[in-house]
Structure 1
Amino acid sequence: MSFEVLSREFRSTVGVGGRVTALFLLAASALAAAAPAPAREGKLLLTGGVSSIDGAAGGGLTPWALTGSYASVGQFGASAYLTRLRTQDYGLTGYGVATSFDERIELSLARQDFDTGRTGTALGLPGLRLKQDIFALKLRIAGDAVLDSDTWMPQIAIGLERKRLDAGGLAPTLHALGADDRGTDVYLSATKLLLAQGVLLNTTLRATKANQNGLLGFGGTARDRYKLLPEFSVAWLLRRNLAIGAEYRFKPDNLNPSLLGNGLAEDDWKDLFIAWAPGKNLSLTLAWVDLGRIVPAVVDRHQSGAYLSAQVAF
């Protein structure tokens, strides 16, 4: 899929979701007005990462220990993002805002809207959309990615993501499978920036009960306990405003087996991405994403596709 075709799909998505567009533009305008000018002179280009699908700063699939925006020590910063992911059978639209202070604390709020496509129809719920709100907090507890770039000390942060799911007509089924509609992920991230080599390495350990990141609830009759899972990212700066990289995120499998056998099996997520920042206020991320099987009882094939995200930051 070419960048031009993906861009047209992205613009079409924004056009259809009028409320999404309005909220995004309103948030971006508000952040532009509220953010103090000195934040634009803070961190180096792309050292705040981009917005993950859950709203926290990092890669597309996993948070990093970096705080978002370009706010440095003693500064406030803010960002807003809009993301579109499309696979063979599903679509996900996400948007949100984040604020950070002193390069130490980050707060974010994100919204996800998942289109179940023909899976919803096969389940007798045509037009089913799963919607999730995510409130996240991140706190840097040690290290500084830039200042410690010539040592082995990484930047380390702890984070919390509180998630609330609106499963619509699917809610009774998820409850019958023992899945809750609210859950909390806790993670620890270590990010190492090798500035001279232009390489960033990140490892995140996440304690979670989320099924498909929470879009199918939390926990289940097969497994209803927290599982500690790793997530990895690597990024290489081709030049100061252009980076390529890859991510791998291990996932739990709480609904397998269930009343549906292995029909709700869950696979790990992975991606290859390119991020471009034409300036400090804007970044664009394009990725190929493999989400594995999603509800294989209905659609028994891997779900892979294109991911495009735009972020404004101050």
Structure 2
Amino acid sequence: MHYTARFFITVWAFTPIWLRGQETISIPVFNPSFEAVLPYIVNDTADWVDCGFLSEAPLQFQPGVYEVDKEAFEGKNYFSLAVRDNFTWDAVGQRLRAPLKPGRCYRMMIHLAQSPYYTAVSPVFGTRVRYKNPIRLLLWGGKKFCQAGQLLAQTTLVKNKDWEPYELIFTPKVEITHLSFQAYYLNPMVAYNGHLLMDFASPIEVVPCETYPAQSPDVSQIEIKPQSKRDLENFIALYGKTIRFERDQVNLFTGKDASTFEAGAMSESFLSLMGKSIRWLSEYRLEIAVKDKPRRLTNARIAYLKQFFTSNKADSSQLDIYPFEEKRPEKGEDWTSENAFLAIRLRAMR
């Protein structure tokens, strides 16, 4: 799974508003109405950066593409973001003009809608279909373009056909210098074709925490419910291979120092989703075999994963974590996903 970064730049002049001292009370968004411009590759000076999958079409300015003809809420253009039936999605990011501080409460508004018509090719079937299913928008904060660091906020499913403002309230855990908006499914276990339209993002404002309690969603709060064993196995097969540990460390890779929106940066998210989703399939257990040497590191990673799942409220009775060398799959029971760090599969409970 590979991501790319495509850069869009315009000439806008916004200045953050400061309080006495050095605290920013309002951080404007460059090109807040997503006006169409020519693409340039200019590191750290671009307004909006396409954080989508390299295998998919570039992010589209609307109207005029995929049969979308809706009038913009502000200006002439806006973005459309899609999810697809091959487990890929669109995302777009920006470098902030002033950092967001940990512990502060922030508020921003963004206008979202769904088009009555949106047709594109299905990656799975190869034919043109309607991307009519509703999706939601996730807001990520990080320290580089397209970095999935902290999940700051998420919207409900966007079903409205007219433009409506969506309020995002959040509190960073660490200093944030970049934001990313990501299109996402209702249920990450089931891939489908859907879209939303995005226009006019307001400045980011500091607000009183007692008046505006932050949403501060945890990735593990994303609703998950596989419809069948096959759904969960498909999810494991696609995302399990991206899960990895920090080099020579016990903990999972977080991508805090990565320069792109790497799949591996979602290691904690994907593993948490797998651990939580197994509860819907009570007749199965999730087996994880930890690779790598020396054995001391392997054992430490096993202990770490057990604690990780406990903190994410996964059912330990449906989890089996052990060194890779101890058990080999029996005939007909190959690993569903395997990489240099982990091997993962589902097995029937005994």
Whether the TM-score (by the shorter chain) exceeds 0.5 is no
Per the normalisation by structure 1, the TM-score is 0.33
Compare the two structures and name the one with the higher strand fraction.
1
Higher Cα Rg: structure 1 or 2? 2
Per the normalisation by structure 2, the TM-score is 0.30
